[in-house]
Structure 1
């Protein structure tokens, strides 16, 4: 399984479309974790699994999505409804409830990935307005068997950070 995860593009269509073109037919899914600030019929997000963020006015976007991709259960939300700036505990409960292997979220504009109780929690940072660093980022996640490779890349596709996890059997 190979995924591109992006969040908090705040009306910027250029970066989203560029990722769409670069990774078309090369990944299993493009995922946007909210605050696109685009309309649901905007061509820039047509190939994305997308959720509604606190700055999105589009009511057609769901607050959360649960998808199964190549046998992996994925939970996507923006994060504001789970108070992620304070703690991941509420999100962790929701992940367990959905038996998720991966949780993708945004909202804080701060990149990070960690394994909690056998589930990977990942925030790709912001592709437009990063916090805590200057690089505008997105994430590339690849899962082969039980090995998970996470790469955080800049908007111009340079690796800024990599992490590896071993997915635990449930």
Structure 2
């Protein structure tokens, strides 16, 4: 199964932007790790019929009332957990790993930090970054492919608004 993993979209829209809807067509499932922001955008994603999601800290009450804080489900024998905020650290994933172990999952998808992380130990930790509001990274998502219990991941670059810090850093090299 091919899955697209996203988080932290922070959109106030009743429609999915075309660059994202075209991407979503390629996948059988969309995992969203919270911070849709608005109920209309959540409903737009839900209307695809492919969505598995949790709420985030910035989601409006209507989204929080519908979606859980944590979600666990299975795909082809692989247990996947989803949560928005897994840890307070953006550099040390030890607490996130322990959370995955406590949840009893093989993969823990999380958001909140707006930059991609793929870390493999005895569990696989995935933060897809943000396709619309990245921090210290370009806009992106993560492709998760599960086949017969085997898991492959890939960071997918997305056309969109990049992080101002990254743009500034790139501009420094242009002056040389």
TM-score normalized by the length of structure 1 = 0.76
Match of 2:73 in 1: 67
Alpha-carbon deviations, 1:117-157, whole Å to 9, x = none? 1x110111111111122x21111111234543211112249
Which stretch has the larger CA shift, 144-153 or 101-110? Answer: 144-153
CA distance in 1, matches of 2:75, 2:21: 18
1:111 aligns with 2:112: no
Separation in 1, partners of 2:6, 2:130: 7
Counterpart of 1:123 (choices 127, 131, 148) is 127
State the Cα distance separating 1:34 from its structure 2 match: 0.7
Q: What runs of 5+ residues in structure 1 fail to find an aligned partner?
A: 158-170
Aligned equivalents of 1:12 and 1:136: distance in 2? 18
> Equivalent of 2:152, from 149, 152, 166?
149
Deviation at residue 100 of structure 1 after TM alignment: 0.9
**Which one has a larger percent strand, Structure 1 or Structure 2?**
1
What is the alpha-carbon distance in structure 2 between the residues aligned to residue 154 and residue 139 of structure 1?
A: 9
TM-score by length of 2: 0.74
Q: Please report how far the alpha carbon of residue 89 of structure 1 lies from its aligned counterpart in structure 2 after TM superposition.
A: 2.5
Instruction: State the distance in 2 between where 1:125 and 1:42 align.
Output: 18
Q: What's 1:165 paired with?
A: none
Which of 102, 107, 110 matches 1:97?
Answer: 102
How much has 1:19 moved relative to structure 2?
3.6
**Structure 2: unaligned runs, 5 residues or longer:** 161-176
Larger CA deviation: 106-115 vs 15-24: 15-24
- Residues 109, 125 of structure 1: 8 Å contact kept: yes
Counterpart position of 2:165: none
Greater helix content: 2
Query: Which whole-Å deviations, capped at 9, do the CAs of 1:32-83 have from their partners, x for residues lacking one?
Result: 0111112178432213211111111232221110011121100001125x32
Q: How many angstroms apart in 1 are the aligned matches of 2:38 and 2:19?
A: 16
